[in-house]
Copies of this chain bind each other. A is one copy, B any other.
Amino acid sequence: MAQRKILLTIAYDGTDYFGWQKQPGLKTIQQTINQAASDLVGHKVHVHGASRTDAGVHALGQVGLMETETPIPTENFVRALNDRLPPDIAILAASEPPWNFDLIGAVKRKLYRYCIHTGPIRPVLDIRYCWHLPSLLDVEAMNEAARALVGRHDFKSFASAKDKRKDTVRTIFRCEVYRGVGPRQDYVYVEVEGKSFLHNMVRNIVGTLVEVGQGKRGPDQMASILQARDRTAAGQIAPPSGLCLMWIKYD
């Protein structure tokens, strides 16, 4: 059988993993899926990911790409892989992309959503999936600050010092903050849409927006934070538990 490619849509609870990326001796999402896929097809498989999510970060729409020689029909991959994966990882869809499909280069948009619980008492059935921050947040001010990030900017101030990429210019298509309604009124969400992100960029943006929401910074400071091109100009990093990669769209 000829080599073929399988594109996977992947969801996971990242709480108990050291992030997406394979690392020797550590339990990671990639390594766990590699193992399940290798067991299934009977040869060693390496699943490439479109996004490298950090330890503790979740995904509802990660995208992975693997090559295999197996004759297993594509439509059987979802169930067969899920049968071999732990409860906190699931394959949502499988398809065969064109042979020249570019997993990272062809990304058009990604959505990250960050969830903050602002109530006085931690939500025990949701604590893995949010940042519990018992605090009054001025969502209007956060939105004003968020708007200053939309567009093409140098985001070096929001990148981890560990991110050594020279080009720190990125484009944010949308950055919005809103409060939940009804039983979700204690929740504040930050949504950030872009094509690619620097390391820790979304969590550093959220941490900075929260300082605006708490009145520690004015929303008008965002422009000068961007100009500084210095990580220490921005706010503290938000914890990974609140972050979820919602989807990745391709051309």
Contacts and interface: CB of A to CB of B under 8 A. Distances in A.
Interface in A72-126: 78-79, 82, 87-92, 120-125
Contacts of A132: 87
A122 B92 CA distance: 9
Contacts of A13: 124-125, 127
A91 B87 CA distance: 28
B12 A124 contact: yes
Interface in A175-219: none
A30 to B, nearest CB: 16
Contacts of A127: 13, 87-88
Interface string A121-138: 111110101001000000
Interface residues of A, number: 24
B78 A121 contact: yes
B82 A124 contact: no
A122 B129 CA distance: 17
A223 to B, nearest CB: 36
A11 interface: yes
A172 B91 CA distance: 40
Contact of A124 (B78, B79, B90, B123): B90
B11 A87 contact: no
A60 interface: yes
Nearest to A127: B87
A156 interface: no
A122 B87 contact: yes
A10 to B, nearest CB: 9
A48 interface: no
Contacts of A91: 121
A199 B151 CA distance: 59
A93 B121 CA distance: 10
B125 A82 contact: no
A34 B142 CA distance: 41
A41 B90 CA distance: 45
A236 to B, nearest CB: 19
B121 A125 contact: no
A12 B125 CA distance: 7
12 contacts: A11-B121, A13-B125, A60-B124, A82-B121, A87-B122, A88-B127, A89-B124, A90-B121, A90-B123, A90-B124, A91-B121, A92-B121
